[in-house]
Amino acid sequence: MIKINENYLLLQPSYLFVDIAKRVRKFQEEHPEKKIIKLGIGDVTLPLPQACIQALHKAVDEMAKAETFKGYGPEQGYAFLREKIAQFDFKNRGIDIEPDEVFISDGAKCDTGNFQELFAQDIKIAVPDPVYPVYVDTNVMAGRAGQLVKGEYSNIIYLRSTKENNYIPDLPASKVDLIYLCFPNNPTGATIDQQELKKWVNYALENKALILYDAAYEAFIQDQNIPHSIFEVPGAKQVAVEFRSFSKTAGFTGTRCAYTIVPKECTAYTQEGSPVNVHQLWMRRQNTKFNGVSYPVQRAAEAVYSPEGQKQIKTNVQYYLNNARIMRETIAQLGLHCVGGKNSPYVWVECQQDSWKFFDLLLNQAGIVCTPGAGFGKSGQGYIRLSAFNSLDNVQEAMEKIKQVL
Amino acid sequence: MIKINENYLLLQPSYLFVDIAKRVRKFQEEHPEKKIIKLGIGDVTLPLPQACIQALHKAVDEMAKAETFKGYGPEQGYAFLREKIAQFDFKNRGIDIEPDEVFISDGAKCDTGNFQELFAQDIKIAVPDPVYPVYVDTNVMAGRAGQLVKGEYSNIIYLRSTKENNYIPDLPASKVDLIYLCFPNNPTGATIDQQELKKWVNYALENKALILYDAAYEAFIQDQNIPHSIFEVPGAKQVAVEFRSFSKTAGFTGTRCAYTIVPKECTAYTQEGSPVNVHQLWMRRQNTKFNGVSYPVQRAAEAVYSPEGQKQIKTNVQYYLNNARIMRETIAQLGLHCVGGKNSPYVWVECQQDSWKFFDLLLNQAGIVCTPGAGFGKSGQGYIRLSAFNSLDNVQEAMEKIKQVL
């Protein structure tokens, strides 16, 4: 008899964004005349940068001729892209990451979801709260999470990110082995400075823990004192893996390209305590279960690093940050507390009531879709997330409507 | 302490094609003047069909304008593609598969590798021998395979495919829960008729087992009596999942698009024997760990089903099948036994000596790269796989060289 992985039965009934989509669909069916402005899911709206479009066309033409056609590429990604990433995103910032420490993939969601496969089932994991649901759900599927008790899993250590700690969690009180961190944070938009980040790296070094550092929103960092990479912290290469993405950086949410840095020093251990190279484990995982990213897409990602590409993505990032500023200022005018929106496309708003109630209020009264904070975890209750990934017009219109409703 | 998944330590040292690449690189470094013809890895060589090229360019242009730009798509894939697949690959053949039973992905390697995640760790799995290594390695990583003893895993049931049974394995002698089948077969090129396939479906129905049916080479089927899908067999929708790919059908190995059919009737069970819907499990898995396939790539796949696309892919398939015919005839002239190459791009050659020795002989004496059968499992020993995915000129030249050497 083919038996299921019963860990799946421990998952919470539905995926956050699916729930939201259902409520929005219902509202639209009941009010087909009303305009809806989506400030919910973090999906970009500006078209792909011209440099990427040109690179895509060129690569497609290569696929049309036998002499330039590309079949299977390297599972790890093409060297032309890995070299650009190592140079621009790391070496140019004084961080020593080599091209062969870069793994190209079709998404940071896949990579942050898949990385836990490399580790034992009985490790202790810590996740931020509120949190991007993928970190938790993939560990539930793997049988690490324990039982669901009042919306939280018994074996997971939740790192509370609250107003009190400026949305930067304290180090865990008990020992943990695998730590998920995300800065600039999704969903709160909070950032971390080098000194705070150093505490985490030192914790990992002292406890032989590993940090999975999600830096998908790195491109939005503007302030000088905010680290762009965990590898800016000395010693981090032994104890951290970093996830990056072109999704938000260059509008690739529908084009699909991301990358993960697994330094060659990065170490995990056998049950007996013998060191094992995490880079080689991930390489083996990817060689076995992945077949590389579409060639034209890798060429498009490469174009992000051309002089025009760099200019174009910066213009787009500024466009979204201007939206975020408008949202932040409106929220402040309304006398509500918020965080984020300065080095992040997200504004995390304290709504002084139940998240889903506030979600329904904004949807039903103003036609605005946000993301209820409670969907990201217990500490998200009483908050909503606003996303700046929309047009300036829509953001301005949405803020006017919010002012009328609140 | 961050402990590794020690199942990784049970994996055989290296991935077959990585080993081959190393030997080829060594030969090239030592003999830079010698021409190498690669009949090894099953990678296509003809450019993408023009219909796909046009669709790619058009979709790239859509990505350049805000009004037509596409961000995140549905994890399951766009309806425009799922509808074409259901219609052309199934309904037109009298098979009742609905668009919402189709899941678009970036590769059959990923899907065949990931699907085992849905099942309990203590299920008994059966794999063909010889076999595409991904089926085995992903189960080793999941801890299902047991210990490696003389090149085989103690908990896996190997379904021997040999000259004696015409490369169609017999039903397992002991009970199994999850069965991997692949027809037209990789690596042997053997096919299965409806009556033989029915035995497997009936076995699965009787034993509440599940069949993972890899039909990545379906496009090469020419004979009328060979089923294109396992769902041609009555009852199969309850007990089978089918994997298809555009890689070999339309030259998408570097473009990346595949699909998996999970019928809504398909059933697995809890430990206590309650039925669970496999379609919903896979949906949840994909929603959590996958973010959909690149939009332009899905448009390119859709173009495969246009009248021009259908004509172009058929021309390409015939080109490769002609190569296969030449290889088969040469092998026969040399007095060697072979199978495949008629409804498959692969020719499986009995080499009457150790596979790797024969591999080295062909590489060193003729500059020809094949795939040693032993790399696919015990029953592959004494065989090599030749792939027809090359130019006609190269295939003819390679066959002339083989004749001189053997």
How far is residue A293 from each of residues A42, A61, A286, B254, measured CA to CA in Å?
22, 17, 11, 8
Between chains, do A5 and B117 touch, taking CB under 8 Å as contact? yes
Question: Closest to B45 (Cβ–Cβ): which among A45, A66, A269?
Answer: A66
pLDDT of residue B260 exceeding 70: yes
Q: Which residue has the higher pLDDT, B323 or B42?
A: B323
Q: Which of residues 321-350 of B touch A (CB under 8 A)?
A: none
- Compute the distance between CA of residue A52 and CA of residue A251 in angstroms, rounded to an integer: 10
ipTM of the complex: 0.96
Angle of CA points B140, B144, B145, to nearest 5°: 55
Distance, in angstroms, between A192 CA and closest chain B CA?
Answer: 24
Distance, in angstroms, between B362 CA and closest chain A CA?
Answer: 23
Instruction: Give B246's pLDDT tier (boundaries 50, 70, 90).
Output: very high
Mean pLDDT (whole number) for A321-326: 98
Tokens 């899907």 sit on residue: B111
- Compute the distance between CA of residue A316 and CA of residue A200 in angstroms, rounded to an integer: 32
Neighbouring C-beta atoms of residue B147, cutoff 10 Å: 9
pLDDT score at A293: 98
Q: Are B361 and B296 in contact (CB under 8 A)?
A: no
Angle between helices A50-63 and A307-333 (to 10 degrees): 140
3-state secondary structure of A124: coil
Mean pLDDT (whole number) for A13-36: 88
Q: What is the largest CA-CA distance in chain B?
A: 65
pLDDT of residue B30 exceeding 90: yes
Q: Are A170 and A192 in contact (CB under 8 A)?
A: no
Q: Are B155 and B124 in contact (CB under 8 A)?
A: yes
- Compute the distance between CA of residue A391 and CA of residue A396 in angstroms, rounded to an integer: 9
Nearest residue on chain A to B256, alpha-carbon basis: A294
3-state secondary structure of A393: helix
> Percent of chain A beyond pLDDT 70?
100
Instruction: Kindly report, residue by residue over A26-82, the tens digit of the pLDDT.
Output: 999 999 999 999 998 789 999 999 999 999 999 999 999 999 999 999 999 999 999
Instruction: Kindly report, residue by residue over B3-14, the tens digit of the pLDDT.
Output: 999 999 999 876
Instruction: Kindly report, residue by residue over B172-198, the tens digit of the pLDDT.
Output: 999 999 999 999 999 999 999 999 999
Between chains, do B6 and A50 touch, taking CB under 8 Å as contact? no
Mean pLDDT (whole number) for A355-359: 96
Is the Cα torsion angle B8, B11, B16, B18 positive or negative in sign?
A: positive
pLDDT score at A41: 79
Instruction: Give A14's pLDDT tier (boundaries 50, 70, 90).
Output: low
In terms of Cβ atoms closer than 10 Å to its own Cβ (0-12, 13-18, 19+), residue B254 is buried
Strand order in the sheet with B240-245: B102-105, B258-261, B240-245, B210-214, B178-182, B125-129, B156-160
Instruction: Kindly report, residue by residue over B286-299, the tens digit of the pLDDT.
Output: 999 999 999 999 99
Instruction: Give A369's pLDDT tier (boundaries 50, 70, 90).
Output: very high
How far is residue B159 from each of residues B136, B212, B375, measured CA to CA in Å?
12, 14, 16
Residue B18 carries which side chain, given as an amino acid letter?
A: V
Q: Which of residues 42-101 of A touch B (CB under 8 A)?
A: 43-48, 50, 53, 56-57, 60-61, 63-66, 69-73
Between chains, do B72 and A43 touch, taking CB under 8 Å as contact? yes
pLDDT score at B18: 79
In three-state form (DSSP H/G/I as H, E/B as E, the rest C), the secondary structure along A28-88 is HHHCCCCCCEECCCCCCCCCCCHHHHHHHHHHHHHHCCCCCCCCCCCCCCCHHHHHHHHHH
What value does the mean pLDDT of chain A take?
96
- Compute the distance between CA of residue B247 and CA of residue B224 in angstroms, rounded to an integer: 23
Q: What is the largest CA-CA distance in chain A?
A: 65
Instruction: Kindly report, residue by residue over A136-154, the tens digit of the pLDDT.
Output: 999 999 999 999 998 899 9
> Percent of chain B beyond pLDDT 70?
100
Between chains, do A50 and B44 touch, taking CB under 8 Å as contact? no
The pair of structure tokens assigned to B312 is 């172009």
Mean pLDDT (whole number) for B133-145: 96
Mean pLDDT (whole number) for A74-94: 97
Nearest residue on chain B to A112, alpha-carbon basis: B289
Instruction: Give B406's pLDDT tier (boundaries 50, 70, 90).
Output: confident
How far is residue A227 from each of residues A95, A314, A331, measured CA to CA in Å?
11, 18, 27
Tokens 């669901």 sit on residue: A148
Residue A317 carries which side chain, given as an amino acid letter?
A: V
